[in-house]
Structures are given as structure tokens and as C-alpha cells.
Amino acid sequence: MLRSKTRLDPKAALPEMERLLEEGDANLRVPLANLACRLGSPAGVPTLVRAASEGKSGLGNLNALRRPEAWKRISCELPETEFGADAKSGKVLTISRRSLRGTVESIWQDLGAISGIPIVLPPRESKKGDWPSEVLEIPNDQGWTTLVDMLQESLGPYDFILEADQIRIVPRGEALKLWDKWAKEQKK
């Protein structure tokens, strides 16, 4: 029943999703919590914060609740774009509906330029190893076409915090502290 409701009107499935978050199969809770947050329901917050603290989930979808207007901006479909390689600078980036390829730093900076929302990288001391120049290639097996999906696929041990005018990339531990504090404030 949940599947048919979701296809017609995802928000119509929220009551069933919220019930399944409490009573349903443990293996479905994190995906349901992510979907509930994307649809504007805070019911998934405790599940996502707990899963992130156990290293089982990112926290990006919580941004849909904290900054719904900015979330709409980064949830829009991006045009198919391709960038070539620059042999001198070593900058390689491809953003398409087929793949995401480039250095970690160039991917995030160019995604920000394409979306019109600046992406602020973590301070250099918080980056592990040769992180900025590490080349990342993510085949688009999931069919993502939005900035949200691309960010979530490319973050690794980082998460993103959506602000009204920018996207901050932060280490997952820092994000977990922010979201845990935010979740507690929402309960007041």
C-alpha cells in the first residue's frame, strides 16, 4: 500500500511511513527516515541522528526540515553538463546524468557554481590526507539529477549543512553535533 500511495502523492504516504518508523522492519527505518525528512516530516529525525552516530547514514536530508526554501533550490533538476579535463591544472570534472568525476574539491566547487549556491569547503586541517586532489568517480547507478543527490553521493566522511545562502561541507562528526543540538531544540 505504501508504494502505491508514494507514486501518486508522496505526502499521502507519510502516516504509514511514520508508523513503519516505529513498528516496521529495522532494515527499512533509515531509508524511510530519509524519505520522511525529504517530504517535510520530522518523524525521521531520531532515526537518522542515531544511524549517523553509528556510521550507517548521512545527515543531509535533515536540511529539508531546517531550511525548506533552500532545500527546494538544491532539489531542482540540474541540466546535463559536462566539463573536460585541463591537463595543466589537472582539474577534471564531469557532471552528467551518467557520472560524476573529478577531484573532490573541484566537484564541490563546480556544483556550487552550476547551482548558483556557493559550497564552502571545510578548513584544510579537517581534511584527511591529500583530500582536495583525490579524484572521485561515481557512476550514476541511482539516476540522480539533483544537487542534493550529487552531494550525498560524493561526500564520503563529510556531510553538508544547508544555510540560506550557502552549503557548508563539514566532517560528519561536526554535522552530527549540529543536528543533535538542532533535534533537541525542536523538541522544546
Kindly report the CATH number assigned to the domain that includes residue 100: 3.55.50
Are 48 and 7 in a shared domain?
yes
Query: pTM (2 decimals)?
Result: 0.77
Torsion of CA 117, 119, 120, 122, to 10 degrees: 160
Whether residue 128 is contained in a domain is answered as yes
pLDDT tens column, 110-149: 778 777 888 888 876 555 555 666 777 766 666 666 778 7
Residue 108 has pLDDT above 80, yes or no: no
Residue 173 forms part of a structural domain? no
**Range of the structural domain that residue 107 is part of:** 75-168
Distance CA 108, CA 1 (A): 38
Residue 155 placed within a domain: yes
* 106 pLDDT higher than 70: yes
Same domain, 53 and 8: yes
Query: What mean pLDDT do residues 73-90 have?
Result: 57
Q: Hey, what's the cell of 46?
A: 531520531
Q: Are 79 and 164 part of one and the same domain?
A: yes
Residue 175 placed within a domain? no
Q: Are residues 88 and 52 in the same domain?
A: no
Residue range 166-184: mean pLDDT, rounded: 91
* pLDDT at res. 96: 54
- Residue 23, pLDDT > 80, answer yes
Element (H, E) at 9: none
Residue 179 lies in a domain: no
Identify which of 9, 62, 6 has the alpha carbon closest to the alpha carbon of residue 34.
62
| Spatial CA neighbour of 172 closest among 127, 137, 138 | 127
Number of domains in the chain: 2
Q: What is the mean pLDDT of residues 148-168?
A: 84
Q: Do 150 and 94 fall into the same domain?
A: yes
One domain for residues 37 and 93: no
Task: Check pLDDT > 80 for residue 10.
Answer: no
Per-chain mean pLDDT for the chain:
77
pLDDT of residue 94: 46
Same-domain status, 150 and 103: yes
pLDDT of the residue at 86: 40
Higher per-residue pLDDT: 126 or 52: 52
User: Do both 28 and 110 map to the same domain?
Assistant: no
Task: Answer yes or no: do 27 and 81 share one domain.
Answer: no
Report, as an integer, the average pLDDT of 84-103: 52
Is residue 66 pLDDT above 90, yes or no?
yes
